[in-house]
Amino acid sequence: MIARAPAKAIVSGEHAVVYGAPALAIAIARYAEVRVVRQGDPDQLTLILADLNHQSRIDRQQLLHQTDTANQHYQDFLAGTAPIKAVLQQPSSLYFYAIGTLLQLFPDLPLGLEIRIKSDIPLGSGMGSSAATVAAMLAAIAADAGLKLSDQQLFELSHGAEQLQHGRSSGLDPAVCCWGGMLRFQDGKFEKRTFSNMAGWYLLDSGRPSVSTGECGVQVRQQFLHSDIWTEFAEVTNSLEQAISGGQSELILDSIRVNQRLLSHIGVVPERVQQLVAQIEAQGGAAKISGAGAVAGDNAGLVLVYCPDKTVANALTPKMTLTPLQVAANGAASVLS
C-alpha cells in the first residue's frame, strides 16, 4: 500500500491562527510518500526513514509505552517544566507516537509491517513536512489494514502528533495535508476554498531555519499572547481571501506587504529575509514568509512571492530561484475515501 500527502504553504495567518484568527493555506504539489509492506512478526514493525538513512524496530508493548511517556513529557511542556525538544527526542519518535495513538483507537490493528517514509518536502522549512509524512503514513497503515478510519479521525490523529512535535499546533498543517486544495482554517475547523487562478504566485526557499516551529511558537507566545496584533492579522487574512477570490491583484499585493510587516513585527522574519523581501517589493512584487519563520539566525524557510506582472518575476530570477506555485487538489485522506 502506498499513500502520499502534499506539502503546504500558508498564504496568510501563520502564528495568528494559534490565537483564534483565521488562516488561509494551500496544498502544493510536493509530496511525502509512505509504502507499507506486510512482513514478519505481527507484533513488531520496522520503520525506515529513507531520507535520513534511519531504520528502527519496535514491538507493540514498547510502542504503547513510548506513547504514554511522550504524552507525559508533553504535559510537562504544557506546564512549562520541559522544552518542546524533550517531548519527541529521536527521528522515529514522531512516527511511533502517531502509530501508538492509532493503536489506542484500534487495539486489534495487526502490526507485522515495514513502513518506508520518503519525502521531497524540505525538512523544517515551513512546508509541513512533519504533518505530511505523518498523515500519509497513517493513511497507508489504515488502508492496508482495511480500517474504517474516517477523514476526520485521520486529521485528529495527525494533529495529535503535530502537537507533540510543534508544541501548540493550530491543526492547520495537518488539515491541508489531509484534505488538499485551499482551506480557510479557524478554531480547529476548516472550509474548502476554490482557487481559480494561482498565476503569479511563486515559492522561494530562504534556507532552513536554525530554530524549530516549536521554539518560534514559544517566543511569540511569551511576547504576544495578549496582544491586539492578532486582530490585524485577521483583517489582512480576510482581505487577502477576498482579493484572491475576486482576482484583484493590487489588493493581493497590498495585503501581502501588510502581512509581511506584521510578521516582521512579531519577530519571526530575520533581517536577511526582510532585505530579500525588500528587493522583491522594490521591483513591484510582494512577498511574505510562509510558516513559522525564525526567531534567530538568517534563514526563515519558505517565502511566498506574488508577482502578477511576468516582467517583474523575470527581473528577479537572475538573483533568486522562484518556483511557480502548483496546487495539489488532493490530500492524504483521498486514500481512505
Residues in contact with ligand PMV by the rule CB under 6 A: 14-15, 17-18, 126, 128, 166, 169-170, 172-173, 213, 217, 291-292
Smallest separation, CB 290 to ligand PMV (Å): 8
User: Which three-class secondary structure state does DSSP give residue 92?
Assistant: coil
Q: Which is nearer to ligand PMV, 16 or 316 (CB)?
A: 16
Least spacing, CB of residue 242 vs ligand PMV, in Å: 21
| Cβ nearer to ligand PMV, comparing 124 with 285 | 124
Query: Closest CB to ligand PMV among 112 and 207?
Result: 207
The whole-angstrom separation of Cα 90 and Cα 42 is: 24
The minimum distance between CB 172 and ligand PMV, in angstroms, equals 4
Q: How far is the CB of 226 from ligand PMV (least distance, A)?
A: 18
Cell numbers placing 321: 530561484
DSSP codes of every residue in 130-157: HHHHHHHHHHHHHHHHT----HHHHHHH
**Start-to-end Cα distance in the chain:** 14
Q: Which is nearer to ligand PMV, 128 or 331 (CB)?
A: 128
Q: Which is nearer to ligand PMV, 200 or 291 (CB)?
A: 291
In the complex with ligand PMV, the residue whose CB is nearer, 59 or 191, is: 191
Residues 6 or more apart whose CB falls under 8 angstroms from that of 42 comprise 110, 111, 112
Q: What's the min distance (Å) between Cβ of 333 and ligand PMV? A: 19
Q: Which residue's CB comes closest to ligand PMV?
A: 291
Cβ at position 139, least distance to ligand PMV in Å:
20
Distance CA 164, CA 168 (A): 8
Contacts of 1 (CB under 8 A, 6+ apart): 35, 36, 140, 143, 144
Instruction: Record the cell numbers describing residue 42, joined without a space.
Output: 505481527
**Regarding beta strands 54-59 and 113-119, do their DSSP bridges make them parallel or antiparallel, or are they unpaired?**
unpaired
